[in-house]
Amino acid sequence: MRNPKPKIPYDDPLRQVKTPREMLKDPLSTICDACRDNIIQVRRETIAIIFVPGIMGSKLKSQKNTTVWDPDDSWFMAKSYMNAKPKKRYELLIKDPLRLMNEITDKHSKYPKAKERGWGSVAWSFYGDLLTSIQNWGTPIKVLLDLPVYAFGYNWLDSNRVSGEKLRAFIQSIKAKKVILVTHSMGGLVARYALGGKGGKKAAAKVLGVIHGAQPADGAPVAYRRMIAGQEVDGFFNIFGMLGAKVLGPDGPSITAIFPHAESALQLLPSQHYRTNDGKKQWLHIQSFESPDTHESYPKADPYEEIYAKCSHREFWGMIHGDWFQPQPLEHTALDNIFYGKETDADPVSTALARTFRNRLYLARDFHAEIGEYCHPRTMQFFSSGGNDTCTEISWQAREVTLTVKRRPDAMRGDRDRSHEYYALKHIKEIPKRSQGNYTEVRWLNPDGTTGDVVPWDTPFTELDRGIREGQRLFLLSMTRFGKKGPGMSDKDISNLGDGTVPRSSAIGLDPDCNAWGKTIHLLPIWNEARQLLIATGCPTTSEHSAFFDKAAIQATINTIHNLCLGWLKEVFD
């Protein structure tokens, strides 16, 4: 009987301990002795993957541990927000400080480390497929590397500066050689501040690469539009879109109850760096009252001063509607005092609220200036470039409706029994009302050419007739319908490209260092017109913004993670 083969001692000199990088260097046969058992032991190292969600993608609770925002609980969201008035929305989300909620459900049961890694802090219905696909990724690289997947939920009502500082600390706290960041939407701004803001160099050195999905790198005009018109609905028969708009905010007052109090939301406005899809700086166009072919375009220099700090009671296209503010309306005199430097006797509470909002606007400008065009040198930008009408520019149109009002088919004149049904502006079918994310209003134009007050929809015909007799004229003012073209806007085919929320130009607004990838590693080599091989730092999909990480985007994310890991193992980059 043959004796069993003796075990090689653990400290045998032929036992080769290798780091993952050493495993991909010289052929292993050069260090192995012939006719002997050789042991190659890999000392696995960790490259952590951290996912950073977008606005509204993290779950929030009150200081008393009651749920406040949980997109995974459809019944709760419908009950809490579907028919919520602006004041209720303010009380739920703004009035008291909120905390992050990290709660595990049955959906996380296959992943025992889900709570520890923060998976319960982000909306599973939005991001569950992305997290599990990366975690379950079966790649030979895992023989050499441990690739744990973390989710970094955050209070999306806080400034992205605050959330970025917390992400920076989170990156440093993870025991890993390197970290790869994967972001969605506003999460890209959080990540860029974490790495590119003041004090971010150390964290940036630990980051192997960043994958941005649908990031509004330079902001998005839809943020301005929603402050006035509310959440848009794509198509009349889009039932889910209508339900979503009801939850997120169906009109300007519902959005204004939240956005002016949330620095993060203001940081989504088009920054000083924003350009349209065809490269123009000016994205807001105001049609002349007297000449339909004439329009004024903004910003000329500073969008904060020229657009966001304008009040609608003075400039009808101004973003600030004081009457819609919570917890109380802002008096026009207070707005004149703070935003126009007028010396007025204004209510002190209104004045203080107006000053606070102005300060938040300027903090948003400072935030945009601080991160500038920063991006990690190894950055991949995923963007949508077709199939989704996107608000890349906005046009305000002015149409005179004085004669329409004068020549109305007035039921009051012929049928006194119906006078209670038909007596006000709202009954003229030729004058469309605001609805489902579309905004219209009627205003007086005074004889001296200045614009007057908004005419309420329930204004009686008798009052309208009196104003017309006194020389006033009526104009219907409206923003172009979502994703459609209007006066002053580009007529090029690319003008409305994007994911339905973020324009293509903003989603690819960064300029990473292609050389930092290494030509043998990168995901997307492309050819230019001269047939020269270039390295791409952007990956197009056709995904819609809120559901951006579909199967194609997830696979592209995994491919990019693979190439980043492989590049690090081969020491192509540190």
Average pLDDT, the chain: 87
Residue 345 tokens read as 């006797």
The pTM score is 0.90
Cα–Cα distance for residue pair 67/74, rounded to 1 Å: 13
pLDDT at 241: 46
The closest alpha carbon to 351, from 381, 372, 325, 376, belongs to 325
CB atoms closer than 10 angstroms to residue 94: 18
Contacts of 167 (CB under 8 A, 6+ apart): 50, 52, 152, 154, 190, 191, 194
417: DSSP letter: G
% pLDDT > 90, the chain: 63
Query: Poorest-confidence range of 81-90, 198-207, 234-243, 400-409?
Result: 234-243
pLDDT at 246: 66
Instruction: Using alpha carbons only, give the angle 248, 219, 369 rounded to the nearest 5 degrees.
Output: 130
Q: Residue 190: what residue type?
A: V
Residue given tokens 């192995």 in the structure block: 32
Instruction: Using alpha carbons only, give the angle 240, 242, 247 rounded to the nearest 5 degrees.
Output: 95
Q: What is the CATH number of domain 48-219+372-391+499-569?
A: 3.40.50.1820
| 209-240 pLDDT tens trace | 999 999 999 999 999 999 999 887 654 334 34
Residue given tokens 């991909």 in the structure block: 24
50: DSSP letter: E
pLDDT at 28: 53
**327-352: average pLDDT:** 92
Contact 389, 483 (CB under 8 A): yes
